[in-house]
Copies of this chain bind each other. A is one copy, B any other.
């Protein structure tokens, strides 16, 4: 793209919005500091967001409004995720009494785009929009396994492989080996990678062209399940859910 096509103001607006991930209320100066922008620029962004109903202010502090959700949901609505994936996730979660999720890959991370939690301890810590590093999750490994070699190479150039537990696999060669196995098996198993005791399996979701566009998973804890139970009882139901979601995607997802 030509430099003249790039809208610096739009980038700045997005950065100011994201500065509120740090605190619910920010002064112009605080937001400016987080964004690395000048105070006058940040001020104009915040006043414009306020005028449009996406921000509000009181006593010199700004905060975002619930209208902000409509931007993130432009994406979910565009995928029609509530009609295509949620019923299958709900059916899966009800059968196995464990939480299930749908993720997409964004840069080096997986992003939760749908999730059906089951009321258990730890169940509400992952919400839609949550991002996790791909190498440490079953869904991330599925999405990498079905990427092109070029994409995988780029992933390893960019990703920072650091351990979350003493079991986290952070050796590039070991992860590459695992990706090959996942592609052969058609599903991924993950254990103790993000947190000791956490187990999950994931399978690919394909769009109408047959391309892997998302991953579906279910997760459990070694306190209430075993690898044997996961593979014997959960896996067939997970693969069934993945197929049913794939069938319901009647358009191409990029």
Chain A positions within 8 Å of B, measured between CB atoms, are 1, 5-7, 9-11, 13-14, 17-18, 20-21, 23-25, 43-45, 47-54, 56-58, 63-80, 82, 86-87, 90, 93-94, 104-107, 111, 113, 116-117, 119, 123-125, 127-129, 131, 251-254
- A251–B73 Cα gap in the complex (Å)? 26
Number of copies: 2
CB distance from A87 to the nearest CB of B (A): 7
Please pick, from B58, B66, B125, the residue contacting A104 in the complex, using a CB distance under 8 A: B66
Residues of B within 8 A of A45 (CB): 7, 10
**Contact residue among B18, B63, B94 (Cβ-Cβ distance under 8 Å from A71):** B18
A75 touches B79 (CB 8 A): no
- Are B56's CB and A64's CB within 8 A? no
Contact residues in B for A119 (Cβ distance below 8 Å): 90, 93-94
B53 and A7: CB pair below 8 A? Answer: no
User: Is the CB–CB distance between A44 and B5 below 8 Å?
Assistant: yes
Give chain B residues whose Cβ lies under 8 Å from the Cβ of A63: 78, 253-254
Name A44's closest neighbour in chain B (CB-CB): B5
Cα A175 to Cα B44 with chains together (Å): 39
Residues of B within 8 A of A94 (CB): 119
Q: Collect the chain B residues with CB atoms within 8 Å of residue A9's CB.
A: 7, 9-10, 13
Residues of B within 8 A of A52 (CB): 10-11, 14
A21, A64, A78: which has the most chain B beta carbons within 10 Å?
A78
11 contacts across the A-B interface (CB closer than 8 A)? A5-B43, A7-B9, A7-B45, A14-B54, A20-B77, A21-B74, A57-B254, A64-B78, A69-B111, A70-B131, A73-B129
Look across to chain B and name the residue whose beta carbon is closest to the beta carbon of A61: B254
For A123, list chain B residues within 8 Å (CB): 90
Chain B hits for A80, CB < 8 A: 24
CB of A67 within 8 A of CB of B10, answer no
CB contact between A6 and one of B48, B56, B64, B252 (< 8 Å): that residue: B48
Q: Are A129 and B76 in contact (CB under 8 A)?
A: yes
